[in-house]
Structures are given as structure tokens and as C-alpha cells.
Structure 1
Amino acid sequence: MPNSRLYLFSSVLFYLLFFRASLDPILNLTKIGGIGLGALLNLLLVLLFIRVCLKQRFIIPKSFIKVWGCFILVGLISVINSPEKISSLRSFFSILTYWSAFCLSYFFVKNKEDVEHYIKFCIYSSIVPLIFALFEIIFPESSINRNGFRLFGSFSHPNIFAFYLILIGTLCLYSIKSDAFEFSHSFLSHAKLIFLLCVVFLILTKTRSAWLAMAVVLFIYGLFSERKHLGYLVILVFISLLIPSVHDRVTDIFSGPSFDELDIGESLNSFEWRKLVWLASWEYIISKPFLGHGYDTFSYYFLDFFPLQENTKYDAHNAYVQISFDMGFLGLISYMLIFSLILARLISLFRIDKKGAPLIFGLILSYIITSFSDNILFYLSYNWYFWSVMGLFYFYSINIAEGHVE
């Protein structure tokens, strides 16, 4: 791994990305007033990107701006509009780290070996989080809440760990199935073991949106590559539903009344409650439809449009509602443009990797779909890995299309 172009490009970036999935327990201990060493790591990532751009005399690929430019511009304007500018700017800085992670891939992805190295790099970065999870299973007391035992590995929340497991599991399956790359037998044996652990641990996170995301990845792969995997998916779902805790989490979505059928003394399930919140926020959204109320201000205004919740403020648990509220419909359109451009570019992957390409498409689509019910945009450490992987395949696809692959 130290021989990879990523390490030669920047050993600091190499170690920062490799260990970021393992650092949340340490970083959370350093927080004072919501700010800790994690903020310094965010700054470091952005500074690394700026440093590289300076070395290039800011002669940088148009794709850096083409994919992310509109979203970042609208986001900065929304920060100016925010009633809490410092808080909004601090939150929006996370978006700059995602952009940096995406763009930095351009500089260390020049050939097939670079892609192979980075896939192995990401997969092996999961070793420490997986070890954390094994210790949780052995000593489960600290991982029990009102929903029972939920696995969170080295992350600050089970949901973040769950989406990280999907990314790692998908990359493992990609390594095993890909037509374009030939990994060593020893690595493939590791990938199979890690994939199995990812599936088991994903179930133990009890994150329903992540279960759906994994199903989307497997469904897309089965639909476009190997149809027998659709059968495997059905079997996996059936076996999972036989587990009482999984069955209870799934049926809870459909239990209880809808918000328009609610009687006094009854409570809503989590999905119906979220639908009620989204509906309540609509008048605020259309009152500032173009640029929104300010980045990450949904929770700031929450009690104004949802006074039923007493004193607790919440985010939207829906990236599209959150962005529409914070950045207006211009923000939402520019956000969807990011995915549209990436998906359009990755079509060229099918030419050289008919089995592997559907997995990467499934990974992107799972992110898009689960954004309807989760605060996935706020999962910082996971997003570093997700967007760097998106950058990896995006810029590799450009090299393929332009015939620049070494």
C-alpha cells in the first residue's frame, strides 16, 4: 500500500483517509462546545486540496467546478442568508471536505493499478472499525438503547456505521465480481470475509434505511449482471425477517395510525412522524423557494413550524427536504445535478466492466434513495469515503473515455 500513487501523492492524506473511519471515539472526547480535533481534520483535508491546486497554479480540471460548482455557490449564498452565519458556515465546511475528497481522487487515479490500490485501501481501512464491532458484540452493555442492542463500531452512531458497511461491502463485492481488475487470491479471500462481516454487522446496526440501501445495491447488480443474485437477495431478506429484532424494526414502519388517523393518546411510528414534520415545513420552504433560509437552519426554525415537539429540535431526516429548506430549490437542483453528472459519466464503465459497473451504480442509487429518509448528508466520516470513491470512478471513467489510461 505505501507504494500506491496515493501514498506517493501525499502520505498525510494517505494516513488521514485510512484512519478516519476509526477516529470518532477519540475525536468525540476532544469536543468543547461542539468543536474538537475533528474540525482540524476537516480543515487539514481542505488545505491539502488547496495546496495541490496551488501547485497546479490553479489550472485545475473543469470537472471540479462542473460537478460541484453550482451546489457550493448556492450553499455559500445560503450561509450569507442564514440567521446563524457562524453555525451555518461551520456546517457547510463539511460540504467543502466532501468536494475536496472527490476532487483529490483526480490526482492519484491515473491507471488501473491506482484504482486497485485505492479499493484495497478502503477495504482494509475497515479492519479497525470491524474489530471495534466485534468487541461490542462481546461486551454489548454500552451499545444498548431504547431500540435494544445496536452496533456502531468506531463511529458515533449506528446509522453512520451502517452506511460505511454498505460502502465497504459493495467494494468487496466489486473486487470479487469485477471484469476489469484482477486482484490477488489472498486479497479476494480477505474481501469475502469482510463482505460477510459487513452483511452480519449491517443487520446488527438495526438501521432500516441502510438495509434498504444494501437491497438496492444487490438488486441493481442482480438485474444487470447476475440474475441469480435476485434469488439470493430474496433469501437474505426472508432469513433476516426471521430474526425477531429485524422483524420488529421493519414492522414498526407500518404499525400504528397515519398522522391523519391519529386519535388522542396514540403515537406515530417514526416514518409517519417524519412525514408530518416534512409536511409542516412546506410553508417555510415555499416562503423562500429559491435560496432557502440558510444552510443547516432546519433545526433552528424547527419549533417555529412544528411546535408540537416542545423543546427538542430536529433535522429533517430527508436530504431533499433539508436542502430545499436550507438552500431552496436552486440548492436541490444543483445537488441532484451532482449525481446526474456522475451517473452519466460512469456509463463508460459498462464498456470495460459489465459485472462490476452495476455495483457502483447501485451504490450511488442507494445513496440517492436512502436520502429520502435519513440525514445521510451529515454523516461526515462516511461521506469522506463515499465521495472519494465516487471521485475514483468518475475520474477513472474520464481517463477511459479519453484514452488516457496508462
Structure 2
Amino acid sequence: MSMLALLKNPFRQSNLIIAAILVLALLIGAAMPIYAGMMDDQIAKLAALPAMLLFAILLLYDRKLTLTLIILVRAGGDNILELTRFSLGGYQIGVGGLINAAVILISIMLMLERPKTLSKNVVVVWSVFLLLSLYGILVSPAKPEALRSWLALLSYFSIFSSAFHFINNKEDFRFCVKLALFSSALPVLYSFIDIALNHGQGGEEGFRLRSTFSHPNVLAFYLTLIIPMTFYILKSMPVGKNGLTRLFLGCYLFLLLGLLILTKTRSAWIACVITFALYGVFFERRYLVYMVVLGVVALFIPGVADRLSDLGSGNEVVTYGKLNSFAWRVYIWESAWHWAGPSHYLQGYGLQSFKELSIVFFPSAGKLKWGAHSVYVQLLFEMGLLGVGIFLYLYVQVLREFRKLFSFDRLAGFFLVLVVLNFLICAFSDNMLDYLSFNWYLWFILGAGCAFVQTHAAPVRAQAAPFAAQG
């Protein structure tokens, strides 16, 4: 473009776009010293801004691709995203929060672009649960934390509804399962680094593997989702074909089981045992024998027997006595129940109220705010009997959807039911609703499963329509 042409028509659209880009570049350049000062010159925080700009460009380019990439890498992001957090007006924000907002936005945009028929009953119960949770913000003694918790719940629903835009047939469902499986690559690879760097640490509990997650329990619960899905892909492959792939998946499954053992998360162990036991009962009895053999072998792994025997001591509250982890949970649950008033049994004390009020009702709290370490206790305290009832009914509706799968894909239906069962087991003794990355994968798989049901139901409705018209 010559200078003469620019002077003749300075307001051409292309000229204005170039000018806007130059002005934006100058503004960003001028703001960088200020931004660097706010970020304390830390590399991870400094990289947050360009990362967000690239993410915004990708979001504008292809929303479905953006969500696919988020699902693919989010399992490896907890520790990295934590490094990008900074304080703004007294509130901690970071790239993770912006990704959460993007997931919600993508869900809305996908629905507006191409409305999909969702599982009506599940969506209705989800909506009621979100509305009740919204009321929980209003009565909460910790409103900023309550709002953050509600947005996390909204992102879980967004992931669930977005999964419907991936599914048109069985192969699409398998793609979604494989996408969740591929997401485990980063945590699995980093596990070897975690073991190499920290295997001699861990205090009284010994080393507990956490890999890319914020806590060993989160990795364990993530594995209770990935292991059944890996097993499903393996068992749904045609016999006698894809020999190398089957061999790789079999070895990978053993590796995942080994990593699960190293997390030392007992509730996840129980969920995994139930997975293979039920498969053995309903499909292949030889797996019951495999379980017994592997169970005996596992007892010889350092730390496993100690982790199990730990439940036999420290079960009574005594002065200067140390409780085991389960007895400690029972103690905090009893403390909350004895403190709570009957007037709050129905609607609870509001979102995030358990942690906020734990310094009041829990004798061993000290100055720390403790979570409930049980989804059911947490919901009972924060949202009352209404919250617990709606929460459980939500999973009842999901299971009712998966029951339809047994008529045309028994194996998929079985493993999806196991995923729900594993979650409900682990939810008994941990803060499962607080583990965002895990819940995203959970609800993506559950959404894909419900969408798979819808793809089969759609042809049935289409075939029934002509008969209805004739009537």
C-alpha cells in the first residue's frame, strides 16, 4: 500500500483494521512495565496475558475446537494454573478462572448456534439444583467463596450440555471417551517426574502420588473415571483385530492401576475394586480370580498394608490422641450436626458455609477452616435436605438415561453406570464438588453418554412420527 493511496482514502476498512492493531500493540507495549510490576516479574504470571490473548483468538476461530483442547490438556493444568493467580482488588484471579468463564461462554454460544435436544429430565433437575445453589449464595456467610463455588457448578453443567454438540453417533461417543483417555497422557507422564523428585518425602503417610493435580485424592478420583473408560475402549474393540492397540491399552491399564495405588486414596481403591468385581460378575468371571491375585500382590507394595491397617487405630477422640483420617471425618461431621439448628435442616446455611463456620463448631479447627470431606454432609449443612435430595435425584435421572443404553450397547451402559457409582462412593468421604478438573471430565463423559442415548432415541421418534400422523 503506497503512502499516496493511504492519504487519499485513510478510512478504508483495511486501513482502519491496521490502525487498530497498531494502537492496540502500542497500548499493550506501554502497559507491559505496569503489568510486569503487578505480576512481581514472575514468569508464569507474565505469560498469563499472552496466553489469554491466544486463547481468545482460538475461541473466536473455533469454539468446539477450543473446548476439545481444554478437555485434552486441563488434567495437566492444576499446578501451572495455580502459578498464574494474582490478587486484584483483594480477590485471587488467574488464567484458570478465565478458562472456567470461557467454558460457560462456549456452552451458551454452541447452544445459540446449533440448538441440540438435551436430556430433558437431567437438565430440569440440574436447573433446579443451580437455582437452589443460587439461593445458597444469598444466605451464605462467605459470599465471594459461595459465588466462586456456584460458578464452578455452572461450569460443570456447561461441560455436560456442551458434550451434546460432539455426539451424532456411536463413533462420536467413542471419540469423547478417547478424548478423556488422551487427557491422562500429561498426568501419567508427569507422574514419573513426581515419583523421581518426591518418592522419599511425605511425612508420616509416606509418599503419595499427585502428579499434575493439587492433591493425591484428586488424581485418584480422576483415575476412577479414566480406568473404567480405558477398560471400556479395550473391551469394546473387535476380538482378533488391532492387536498392538489392545496390547498397549492393556499395559496402560496396569500402569493406571499402579498410579492409583500410589495415591493411597482408599475410597478410590474401593471404587476400583467394585468396578472390576461387577465386571467379573456380569461379564467375565475370570476377572474375579485376577482381582484376588492382584489384591494379594498389592498388599506387598510398601505403604498399602499400612494404609489399610491405619483404620484400625486412632478411632476415639482423646486428649493429645491422633485420629485416623476416617475417625477425624466422623468427628467433624458429628460436630457440625450437633451445632446445626433444626431451623436450618431444610435449606441449610448457604454455599461454602461449612468451611466458613467450621472454626466455630469444630473443636479441633484451631484457626483453620475445614471442608466437610463428604459431599453429602456438605450439602446437608449448606443446602439442607432439599439440596441433598435434589443432588441425589440428579444422579438418579442420569442413571435412568443410562438404563436405556442396555437395550443397544450393554457394555457402554454398564461402564457409564460404574462411573456414576464410583463418584457416589468417593463422594461419601471427600470434597468432590471442589475438584473442578475432575468434575469437568466426569460431566463431559456423563453428557456424552446421555447424548449417545439421544442419538438412538431420535431415529425411534422419527419412525414413530408417520404413524402418529396417520392416527
Alignment partner for residue 147 of structure 1, among 170, 181, 205?
205
1:321-361 C-alpha deviation (Å, 9 max, x unpaired): 00111111111111001110011111122223334432222
Specify the structure having the higher radius of gyration (Cα): 2
Aligned twin of 1:158: 216
Alignment size in residue pairs = 397
Query: Which of the pair has the greater relative contact order for Cα pairs under 8 Å at 6+ separation?
Result: 1
Aligned twin of 1:296: 352
Aligned twin of 1:167: 225
Distance 2:419 2:325 in 1: 25
Aligned twin of 1:4: none
Asked whether the equivalents of residues 179 and 352 of structure 1 are also in contact (C-alpha less than 8 Å), the reply is no
CA change 1:293–1:239 in 2 (3 A) is same
Distance 1:279 1:170 in 2: 34
CA change 1:112–1:404 in 2 (3 A) is farther
Distance 2:72 2:269 in 1: 25
* AA matched with 1:278: W
CA change 1:14–1:322 in 2 (3 A) is same
What secondary structure, in the 3-state scheme, does the structure 1 residue paired with 2:86 have?
coil
Distance 2:248 2:153 in 1: 33
* AA matched with 1:220: L
Aligned twin of 1:254: 312
Q: Does 1:125 find its partner at 2:179?
A: no
The percentage of counterpart residues that share the same residue type is 35
CA shift, 1:180, in A, is 9.3
Asked whether the equivalents of residues 111 and 396 of structure 1 are also in contact (C-alpha less than 8 Å), the reply is yes
Alignment partner for residue 369 of structure 1, among 425, 429, 440?
425
CA change 1:54–1:159 in 2 (3 A) is same
Q: How does 1:48-197 map to 2 (within 5 A)?
A: 48-56=106-114, 62-63=120-121, 65-140=123-198, 144-178=202-236, 184-197=242-255
CA change 1:184–1:338 in 2 (3 A) is farther
1:285-335 C-alpha deviation (Å, 9 max, x unpaired): 644122211111111000211133321221010000001111111111110
Distance 1:145 1:28 in 2: 24
TM-score by length of 1: 0.91
Aligned twin of 1:276: 331
What secondary structure, in the 3-state scheme, does the structure 2 residue paired with 1:334 have?
helix
Distance 1:58 1:78 in 2: 30
Aligned twin of 2:436: 380
Asked whether the equivalents of residues 119 and 450 of structure 2 are also in contact (C-alpha less than 8 Å), the reply is no
Q: How does 1:25-40 map to 2 (within 5 A)?
A: 25-33=79-87, 34-40=92-98
Name whichever of 200-209 and 65-74 sits farther off. 65-74
Q: Does 1:264 find its partner at 2:322?
A: no
CA shift, 1:64, in A, is 5.7
Asked whether the equivalents of residues 290 and 327 of structure 1 are also in contact (C-alpha less than 8 Å), the reply is yes
5+ residue gaps, structure 2, are 1-60, 463-471
CA shift, 1:232, in A, is 1.9
Alignment partner for residue 283 of structure 2, among 217, 225, 248?
225
Asked whether the equivalents of residues 220 and 359 of structure 1 are also in contact (C-alpha less than 8 Å), the reply is no
Aligned twin of 1:348: 404
CA change 1:47–1:135 in 2 (3 A) is same
